[in-house]
Structure 1
Amino acid sequence: GQSLIDFAKEHPDIVLDIHLDDRFVDLVEEGFDLAVRISRLENSSLIARRLAPFSVRLCASPDLIAKHGMPMRPQDLARIPCIIDTNGRWLTNWPFKGDAGDTMSVSVSGPIEVNSPMTARAAAVAGLGFTMLPDFIAIPEIESGRLVTALDDRLLSGSGIFAVYPHRRYLPAKVRVFVDFLVQWFKTRESA
């Protein structure tokens, strides 16, 4: 959100029509110039430019860990309360690196389902369970000590935040300016 506000300040001549939506939009069909997505890309007719790396953290409050113990293996989460983000990619099957370096998933459940990572974070801070959070959402609470991470070495990485736009030979200048801006914006925050 902040990146959009910074861009609007720098480019008062470009009108931003922003749709914050967790569903997967069809850019061409719905007439959007650009989307920012967190995922690997399936559709080859779209151009994607990687803006920043993206990783997740498995977190819970110190109180919850004191009560249920720190999970030593992903399988331990099956018996510990977890917070399900219904907008997340994994729902109740959370992926991890297996013992042999392969990918495995653990079926989790818990007392609360939410539909945004911010709400999942608030629920985790309140001690309701473990949750998977994007690192940039988790970090402030980890630094403040309100959340603790677990199983860091078993989490899958390698995803990214992408600017995605329809394949057009002549990319509108406004879109190019915006993509370049986002690339720089994320870069300055990574080094911060």
Structure 2
Amino acid sequence: MDTLTRMRAFIDVVDAEGFSAAARKIGRSKALLSKYVRELEDEVGALLLNRTTRQFSLTEAGHAYYGRALEIIRDIDSLRDSVRDASGEIGGRLRLTAPRSYADAVIGEPLIAFAKAYPDVRLDVHLDDRFVDLVEEGFDLAIRIARLEDSSMIARRLADFTLTVCASPEAIERFGLPERPEDLSKKPCICDTNGRWRNNWPFYGPNEETISVPVSGPIEVNSPVVARKALVEHLGFGMLPRFAVREDLSAGRLVSVMDDYMARDGGIYAVYPHRRYLPARVRALVDFLADWHKRNGAES
């Protein structure tokens, strides 16, 4: 058994945070993965993992080995990809991270469309609303919805992104139409806690000054899908990505308010690390997403 196979098994176990989870993910037995890691530890002469029936953690040596092993495996995979790219093939595993709101809303459709168009590419999609370190955590690509500040990454803008405060016509009739952002502090509000603002909604005044309005209401939930449903059921006002309620706004089920106070400089970006050889599958997905957003008018 070669060192690279053992090394890949070790990385799979660490990434999955356990032997059982790794075995399920890659389709190999827990016993085989345990054997590979044990052989790797014998080879390097150090304990890499602390493992008991209830706990799993890296040793100090394991931390150091994992970082270098990840770099080596990436270099080998990059070399393989460059050879494959030269032959015109597009395939392999692509690790992608995206916010839950991106995939939960209709705008997540291009990922499914890409999988159908490129059957030889295996998409490994991780939905996570926290900020993910692509290099440290081994991701090929991230979808980010924000103002970009990380200059160490390459970013391609896919679509505009705007927030909207909205409510159903019935809710507006019942609770009254807010005329200024501050009025919302006295209205029932549905809080999508995925947003960084949580219960303090951000607005912009006529001189671009930031206005933070504390809000509260009957529901707080970390899902724009559930928050949208609460709005359609007339429970109050909500601040959501426009893409999450676009169809409701067009159909008149929801009405947008406070538009003059919303920021307009956000975007949806495809972000990936600087690499000497960018795998063809990553380039293909970025191009596919950009084209899909353009064709579908996915203003967000």
Task: Give TM class, smaller chain.
Answer: over 0.9
Scaled by the length of structure 2, the TM-score of the pair is: 0.61
Q: Note the 1:60-139 alignment, pairs <5 A.
A: 60-139=167-246
Q: Note the 1:179-190 alignment, pairs <5 A.
A: 179-190=286-297
CA distance in 1, matches of 2:255, 2:281: 41
CA distance in 1, matches of 2:157, 2:164: 20
Other structure's SS at 2:122 match? coil
Other structure's SS at 2:125 match? coil
CA distance in 2, matches of 1:10, 1:167: 26
Letter in 1 for 2:177: M
Runs ≥4 residues deviating over 4 A? none
Q: Does 1:175 align with 2:285?
A: no
Q: Does 1:8 align with 2:115?
A: yes
Residue 73 of structure 1: CA displacement?
Answer: 0.6
CA distance in 2, matches of 1:53, 1:166: 22
Residue 37 of structure 1: CA displacement?
Answer: 0.8
Residue 96 of structure 1: CA displacement?
Answer: 1.1
Q: Note the 1:27-38 alignment, pairs <5 A.
A: 27-38=134-145
Sequence identity of aligned pairs in percent? 61
Residue 191 of structure 1: CA displacement?
Answer: 8.0
Alignment partner, residue 25 of structure 1: 132
Residue 71 of structure 1: CA displacement?
Answer: 0.5
Residue 153 of structure 1: CA displacement?
Answer: 1.4
CA distance in 2, matches of 1:191, 1:126: 25
Unaligned segments of structure 2, at least 5 residues: 1-107
Partner deviation per Cα, 1:39-63 (whole Å, 9 max, x = no partner): 1122221111111111111111112
Larger Rg: 2
Could you say which structure has the greater relative contact order, defined with CA pairs below 8 angstroms and 6 or more residues apart? 1
Residue 21 of structure 1: CA displacement?
Answer: 2.0
Q: 1:191 to 1:136 in 2, by over 3 A?
A: closer
Which residue of 116, 131, 150 maps to 1:43? 150
CA distance in 2, matches of 1:142, 1:97: 22
User: Please, what is the CA RMSD of the aligned residues?
Assistant: 1.5
The 8 Å contact of residues 159 and 298 in structure 2, kept in 1 or not, is answered as no
Other structure's SS at 1:110 match? strand
Q: 1:83 to 1:191 in 2, by over 3 A?
A: closer
The 8 Å contact of residues 243 and 298 in structure 2, kept in 1 or not, is answered as no
Residue 103 of structure 1: CA displacement?
Answer: 2.0
Letter in 2 for 1:87: N
CA distance in 2, matches of 1:145, 1:134: 17
Unaligned segments of structure 1, at least 5 residues: none
CA distance in 1, matches of 2:252, 2:230: 15
The 8 Å contact of residues 192 and 240 in structure 2, kept in 1 or not, is answered as no
CA distance in 1, matches of 2:251, 2:139: 38
Q: Does 1:142 align with 2:282?
A: no
Q: Per residue, is there more helix in 1 or in 2?
A: 2
Other structure's SS at 2:244 match? helix
Other structure's SS at 2:297 match? helix
Partner deviation per Cα, 1:5-24 (whole Å, 9 max, x = no partner): 11111111111111122222
